[in-house]
Amino acid sequence: MPRPRPVYWIDYQRGPAWPAGEAPPKQALYDHQIYLQGLMQGGKLLMAGLFRDEAGGGIAVLDSDDEAAARDMMERDPAVQSGLLTATLRPWQIVFEPASGTSPFAEAG
């Protein structure tokens, strides 16, 4: 059975620089998206997306088993640096991964 995969989860929420009652600055969000695109192209971003409810926010899952490296990636995000978004890093472990067949119930190969 494949071993569970350690990764880091970033929880993004609206930060102190998020303009209340207004649309966020387009350039700041664009810079955030370009940053995540670069992480993805470098093989460090597994997935990212937005919550679709009124609370907003989003997540990104980093392919890293090193907390210091994951924290550095989170802190370098332009939207976090500007205060548009706050970010909380949490260690996470993928247990069920359909793409690779990883499961605690998978047969030994």
The half-sphere exposure of 57 on its side-chain side, counting CA atoms within 13 A, is: 10
pLDDT at 22 over 90: no
Q: Which of 91, 89, 88, 76 is nearest to 34 (CA)?
A: 76
Question: Number of structural domains, the chain?
Answer: 1
Q: Is residue 37 part of a domain?
A: yes
More confident of the two residues 17 and 54: 17
Range of the domain at 35: 5-94
- Which pLDDT value is given to residue 99? 76
Q: Is residue 104 part of a domain?
A: no
Q: Which CATH number belongs to the domain containing residue 15 in this structure?
A: 3.30.70.1060
Q: Which of 16-30, 49-63, 65-79 shows the lowest per-residue confidence on average (mean pLDDT)?
A: 16-30
pLDDT at 4 over 70: no
pLDDT at 1 over 50: no
